[in-house]
Structures are given as C-alpha cells and as structure tokens.
Chains A and B, each alone.
Chain A
Amino acid sequence: MRRALSWWRAAILLLALLGIWELYVDAGGADSLILPAPHSVAASLYDDRSLLWSNFLVTAEEILLGIIVAAAGALLTASLMHFFLTVRRASLPLLIASQTIPIPMIAPVLVLWLGFGLVPKVVVVALVSFFSIVVTTLAAFAGVDPDLIKLMRTFDASRWRTFRHVELPAALPGVFTGTKIAVIVAVIGAVFAEWAGANAGLGYLFEQSIPQLLTARAYATVVILSLFAIALFAVLNLAERLTLPWAHRPIGDSFR
C-alpha cells in the first residue's frame, strides 16, 4: 500500500547541482568569500562542529518547545472550537486574520517585551506553527461521520463521551498532519526570533558570520537547519505510524 519513494534519482540530481556549483566557484565565477564552494561549506561543517553543535542545541530547543506548545494549544483550541459553536464563530475570523501579522516584525516586539532568553523564541515558533495545526485538527473533527454521532446518541452517550470516545481519537491524525506542515515554518520562525535579539543559536551564528565574511560557516548553519527540519518531519512521520497505526489504513471498505 505504501508507495516507496525513490531517492536515488534525487540524490544524483543533488550531486550534479553541487558539482556545477563547485566548478563554477573553482573556475573563478565568484569570489569564494562571497560564494563559498560546497567543499568549503563541508569543511566548515567539520572544523566548526563544536561551535555549530552548541548553537544547534539552542535553536533545536526553541523549535521543539515551540512546536510542542503549538500542538498542545492547537488541539485544545480546535477542541473548544469544535465543542462550542460560539467559540468557533468568535475565534475563527481572528485566527485567520492573525496569519496576516508579519512574523519578522512581531519578533522584535516580543523580544522587547519578553527579553532575550528562550521565551520569546518559543512564543514566535509556537505562533507560526499554531495555525496549520488548528486548521488540520478542525478538519479532522469535521471529518467524523455524522452517522457515528447519531449512533452514539442512540447509545445514550453524552456529548462529552461522544467527544472522548469518538471525536478526540479521530482528530489526532489531524494534529500530526498539521504539525508536519508546521515544522517547516517553525524553523523559519526560530531564525527570525533569533535575529530579533539573541546571543546564541544557529540564526544568531548566521547573522554573526556574514559581516565577518565567514560565508562558509553561514552556509553551514543553513544546511544544518534544513537537515533538522527534514529530520523532524521524518521523526513525526515515524511517531504517527507507531502511535496511530490505524490512521494509515483504509477505513470502511467492506468489500474484502
């Protein structure tokens, strides 16, 4: 049932692109201080490993805490919105409108308010992650078969028990879907938050490296953040398969 993704063609394309880049820089197409060749980025990844690692831990903590806060908050919010029509009517327009707030501008304001520490970063990451998780969780709630709700009513189930036994478990795959989408923007959010004011983290290190013309190191931070986002996505996929194995099976096909 699962279609195996074929990676080797993508790997060949990536190597080819890196090769063109390398040849271009080596042939003098660009000053290596301005555009480092892939081999210097690789060298920086190795030479600066302890510096990169300690800053990575800072950013990883911001992202992970932010995503956890966002997922928990989104599940709670979506549940309340599903449970109470008034809450949904009141909050859905505001939620959608909140997406127009430019995060690069809100980040410095939050730093001003909450200080230079971990808190404003977690808040920014949670803010950018929150919306997609709420939306997919609400969609999962809405996807519950109305006949199932009727069935529970003929079993004399209270609204709460119907929620607990039927709707809440059905919504959990939605939380995972939204969180997987959120991982990508969470990394962007963490970088903006660090640019707004920080003394550690990969976003901070990037910002410090550019004026010092340590461009290979700057590229190395980008590589690490991308790989981290991909790894988070893969971990979430695995966690979903382990905790909700039923979510990847066809439902209601009665013809087997």
Chain B
Amino acid sequence: MIEAPAEEPRGRERTGGVRVESVRRTFDTKNGPVAALDGMSLRAGPDEIVTVVGPSGCGKTTLLELICGLQRPDQGVLESAPAALMPQRDLLLPWLGALDNAALALRARGIPRTQAQAQARPWLERFGLHEFAHTRPAELSGGMRQRVSFLRSLLAGKPVLALDEPFAALDALTRAEMQSWLAHTLQEEPRTVVLVTHDVEEAVVLGDRVVVMSPRPGRAVADIAVPLPRPRRRTDPELTALREHVYRALGVPE
C-alpha cells in the first residue's frame, strides 16, 4: 500500500474499492458457450493500484468491463465503486483538440462546453499539454494521446479507474516514460486502479499488488505484493526479483 496522501483531492467521493469474488462469465459462440473467466477473484482497496497480468485471451478485458458495469457476471459477486474505463487504443475523437477530447467525460454528463473546458484546462497544464489544447489527435505523439486519454478518464470523476493495457501501442521508450508518468500522477492524484497488461515489468513497476491470471478461462493464480517505495527504479534488485516471481507464477521459465 502507498502512504495516504497528505490532502484530500477535490471533487471526488472516497469510497472506491473493488471486490471480485469467484466470478464466472461465459460468452455464447458458434461452438457453444466459452468461459472467459471462471472462479476469478480480485480485490482492490481504496486508492490501491492493482495490476493484472496474464496470457493473451485470459479474459482481462472482460474483467475490466465487469468492473465498469458494461457486463454482468453469470456467477459470483462483483462489487465496485463507479469506474471509468481507459481503453487500450486512445480512442480520441479525431475532430476535437486535446482540450475538448479531455473534456468529453464532462460533456458526457451534460456539462456545457465552456464550463467543461474551464474544468479541463488546469489539468491539461498539469499534464504538460497546454500548448496542444487545440491540436487534434492526428498531430499529437502517441505518448501525448495516451495522456489526453488518461486525463479524459480521470475527469470522469469516478473513484475507480480501469486501465486496459494503456501503453501497449507505444514504443518501448515512450512506454517506460509513460509508466513513470502514470506512477507519479497516481501518487499526486490517488485513485483505485485496476490496470491490466501483458507487460510484467509494467505490472511490477506500477502495482501495489500484481495479480497473475491463468490462461482462459481466466482466474487469479497468484497475488503478489510489491512493497517497494516510489519512485521505483527498474534496475532495483528487489524489483527484478519480484519480476522473476511474477514470471514463475505465469509459468514462464526465466
């Protein structure tokens, strides 16, 4: 667990936990029902960052959609404070500048444009994007787009953020930068985070806990605490050891 923040962030209810208990979720396909998740359990306490790693197709995205209330479990218990999704692809609207894209989460709730912009603008500055307020996504770099996308989900004002492989589409260098940026941002602006990823290093660098999932049907096979202070260094021997631990839990020979 990270230390409790010195001051309460504004405009946000502090209720936010996630409890997933023995959840089963199946999909009907041409070849009969296929279970994406079976016996999946996961907990995230308020302002805790839980990263989830697992092989491709282990139901990670399904898990996030369950947490966000976009799907219902067939079996088991799912309790979550209101959650906003941050999709893998940035999914920014190509006709809007960075400011209006970030403000979309506010406009979705019916806040008028000027007011939504006024609320989003200071955040854009904090995220180092104020020069690009009116720049359309096609002219932003991949890292900038992910920052706008993250800001958009943050401005939804939900206590829980469900991040779906947020940096998977970035090149390795940008990805490392964005991971450090996200860790820093979440220290200043704590949220309950469930982040799914393929990237073991990302999981260990960012998470308070790393939940390892089995191949489909997905369930948690390990829950590994990362009791390291932040900011974390990738070369820290303790971090490397934890990374190996996660690889072993995934069944990948080191």
Q: Which A positions have Cβ atoms within 8 angstroms of B?
A: 145, 147-148, 150-158, 161-162, 165-166, 169-170, 244, 246-247, 249-252, 254-256
Q: How far is the CA of A166 from the CA of B110 in the complex (A)?
A: 14
Q: Are B138 and A250 in contact (CB under 8 A)?
A: yes
Contact of B222 with A by CB under 8 A: no
Contact present for A152 and B108 (CB under 8 Å): yes
Complex formed: what's the CA distance from A153 to B85 in Å? 9
Q: Is the CB of B138 within 8 A of A155?
A: no
B225-243 to A contact mask, C-beta < 8 Å, 1/0: 0000000000000000000
Is B27's beta carbon under 8 Å from chain A? no
User: B85: which of A154, A254, A255 is its contact (CB, 8 Å)?
Assistant: A154
CB distance from B123 to the nearest CB of A (A): 15
Contacts of B164-203 to chain A: CB distance below 8 A: 169-171
State whether B138 touches A154 (Cβ < 8 A). no
Contact B87 A254 (CB under 8 A): no
**Does residue B83 face the partner (Cβ distance < 8 Å to A)?**
yes
**The one of A147, A155, A246, A247 that contacts B84, using a Cβ cutoff of 8 Å:** A155
Residues A254 and B89 in contact in the complex (CB < 8 Å), given A246-B138, A249-B94: yes
Interface CB pairs A-B, < 8 A, 23: A145-B89, A148-B91, A151-B87, A151-B91, A153-B68, A154-B68, A154-B69, A154-B156, A156-B156, A161-B110, A165-B93, A165-B104, A165-B107, A165-B108, A169-B95, A247-B94, A252-B90, A254-B142, A254-B145, A255-B169, A255-B171, A256-B141, A256-B142
User: Using an 8 Å CB-CB cutoff, how does the interface string of B85-114 with A read, 1 for contact, 0 for none?
Assistant: 101011101110000000011011110000
* Chain B residues, Cβ within 8 Å of A255: 142, 169, 171
Q: How far is it, in angstroms, between the C-alpha of A148 and the C-alpha of B70 when the chains are bound?
A: 12
Supply 20 further A-B pairs (C-beta < 8 A) apart from A145-B91, A155-B104: A147-B87, A147-B91, A148-B91, A150-B85, A151-B87, A151-B91, A154-B156, A154-B158, A155-B105, A155-B108, A156-B108, A165-B104, A246-B95, A247-B94, A249-B138, A254-B89, A254-B90, A254-B170, A256-B141, A256-B142
Asked if B136 is at the interface (CB within 8 A of a chain A CB), the reply is yes
- Which of A154, A155, A161, A246 gathers the greatest number of chain B CB atoms within 10 Å? A154
Does B244 touch A at the CB level, under 8 Å?
no
**Cα(A154)–Cα(B71), bound, Å:** 11
Chain B contributes a number of interface residues (CB within 8 A of A) equal to 32
Question: B135-169: contact bitstring with A at CB < 8 Å (1 yes, 0 no)?
Answer: 01110011001000000000010100010000001
B166 to chain A, nearest CB (A): 11
Residue contact A157 to B171, C-beta cutoff 8 Å? no
B223 sits at the interface (CB 8 A)? no
When chains A and B are docked, how far (Å) is the Cα of A24 from the Cα of B87?
67
Asked if A244 contacts B95 (CB within 8 A), the reply is yes
How far, in whole Å, are A157 and B83 apart by their CA atoms in the complex? Answer: 13
Measured between beta carbons, the chain A residues less than 8 angstroms from B108 are 152, 155-157, 161-162, 165
Q: How far apart sit A150 and B70, CA to CA, in the bound complex (Å)?
A: 7
Task: Select which of B84, B89, B105, B156 is within 8 A of A252 by beta carbon.
Answer: B89
User: What is the distance, in angstroms, from A244's C-beta to the closest C-beta of chain B?
Assistant: 7
